[in-house]
């Protein structure tokens, strides 16, 4: 039976494909204050602007490709029962070939009505506009988790973290709550690998291995360690 490998990814892995992170631009996303375009209040104030912002991000994502980091994670499915838990709203893990992906913060290629987060639709086409409604006539919004909203798939993430035989963190600072807390649910005996050019502050943990590298390079090092089984 394959060991259960759980990989938590963040903005750093997508950044290598050319998708900017708002934390690296002073809290701005393409010149917008994050609370204006990624919060319920921002939506209430100007839904048209919010929709256009995500249309532009979607257009940007459609132009990029998965990088070696995404590919390595997908390739590990050959040796491990691999689950990706990502904070990213793009589809680069899927494009790279990963078959089991949990989007903690939703997907930019999905929509949902404002009133019901459980009714999720795949977005047909690159744009979502004001006036685009579901079959009940309700305005659709991007199916992404905004600041101040619940993270419904966190429960799934916790379950996988608790059952992980190997836990890898790549391209995330581990400061975005609640995803940052997932590592706390990983069993003590489980090897934990963290890959990031700016390693996060992590309390002393057993079986913790740190790689101060970008996701693609660090994940190659992790892959070799896992396949050679020489670190644990």
Could you list the residue range(s) of the whole structural domain that residue 32 is in?
4-228
Question: Does residue 129 have a pLDDT over 60?
Answer: yes
Question: Does residue 206 have a pLDDT over 80?
Answer: no
84-93 per-position pLDDT tens digit: 999 999 999 9
Question: Does residue 226 have a pLDDT over 90?
Answer: yes
Residue among 198, 170, 184 nearest 88 (CA): 170
pLDDT top residue among 176 and 117: 117
1-26 mean pLDDT: 86
39-78 per-position pLDDT tens digit: 999 999 999 999 999 999 999 999 999 999 999 999 999 9
Q: Supply the pLDDT for residue 32.
A: 76
139 strand-pairing partners = 133
Question: Does residue 200 have a pLDDT over 90?
Answer: no
pTM, 2 dp:
0.93
Question: Does residue 155 have a pLDDT over 80?
Answer: yes
Alpha carbons 60 and 202: distance in angstroms, whole number: 33
**Residue whose structure tokens are 């644990």:** 232
32-46 per-position pLDDT tens digit: 788 899 999 999 999
Strands 101-103 and 106-113: unpaired
Residue 86 CB neighbours (<10 A): 31
Q: Supply the pLDDT for residue 26.
A: 54
Q: Supply the pLDDT for residue 228.
A: 87
Q: Supply the pLDDT for residue 23.
A: 59
Question: Does residue 145 have a pLDDT over 90?
Answer: yes
Q: What is the 3-state secondary structure (H, E, C) of the chain?
A: CCCEEEEEECHHHHHCCCCCCHHHHCCEECCEEHHHHCCHHHHHHCHHHHHHHHHHHHHHHHCCCCCHHHHHHHHHHHCCEEEEEECCCCCHHHHHCCCCEEECCEEEEEEEECCCCCCCEECCCCCCCCCCECCCCCEEEEEECCCCCCCCCHHHHHHHHHCCCEEEEECCCCCCCCHHHHHHHCCCCCCEEEECCCCCCCCCCCCEEEECCCHHHHHHHHHHHHHHCCCC
Catalytic residues: 105
Q: Supply the pLDDT for residue 188.
A: 93
pLDDT top residue among 177 and 23: 177
Whichever domain contains 136, its CATH number is 3.40.50.1220
160-197 per-position pLDDT tens digit: 999 999 999 999 877 777 777 899 999 999 999 999 99
Q: What total number of domains does the chain contain?
A: 1
Q: Supply the pLDDT for residue 21.
A: 73
Q: Supply the pLDDT for residue 29.
A: 62
């Amino acid at each position: 039976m394959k060991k259960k490998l759980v990989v938590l990814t963040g903005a750093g892995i997508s950044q290598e494909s050319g998708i900017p992170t708002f934390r690296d631009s002073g809290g701005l996303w393409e010149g917008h204050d994050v609370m204006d375009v990624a919060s319920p209040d921002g939506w209430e104030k100007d839904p048209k602007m919010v929709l256009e912002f995500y249309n532009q991000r979607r257009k940007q994502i459609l132009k990029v490709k998965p990088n070696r980091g995404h590919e390595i994670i997908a390739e590990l499915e050959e040796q491990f029962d691999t689950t990706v838990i990502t904070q990213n709203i793009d589809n680069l893990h899927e494009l790279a070939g990963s078959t089991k992906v949990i989007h903690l913060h939703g997907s930019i290629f999905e929509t949902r009505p404002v009133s019901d987060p459980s009714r999720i639709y795949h977005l047909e086409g690159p744009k979502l506009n004001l006036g685009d409604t579901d079959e009940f006539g309700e305005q659709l919004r991007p199916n992404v988790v905004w600041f101040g909203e619940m993270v419904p798939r966190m429960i799934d993430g916790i379950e996988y973290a608790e059952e992980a035989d190997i836990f890898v963190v790549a391209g995330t600072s581990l400061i975005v709550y609640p995803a940052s807390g997932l590592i706390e649910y990983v069993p003590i005996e489980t090897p934990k690998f963290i890959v990031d050019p700016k390693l996060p502050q992590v309390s002393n943990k057993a079986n913790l291995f740190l790689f101060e590298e970008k996701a693609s390079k660090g994940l190659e090092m992790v892959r070799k360690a896992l396949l050679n089984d020489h670190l644990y």
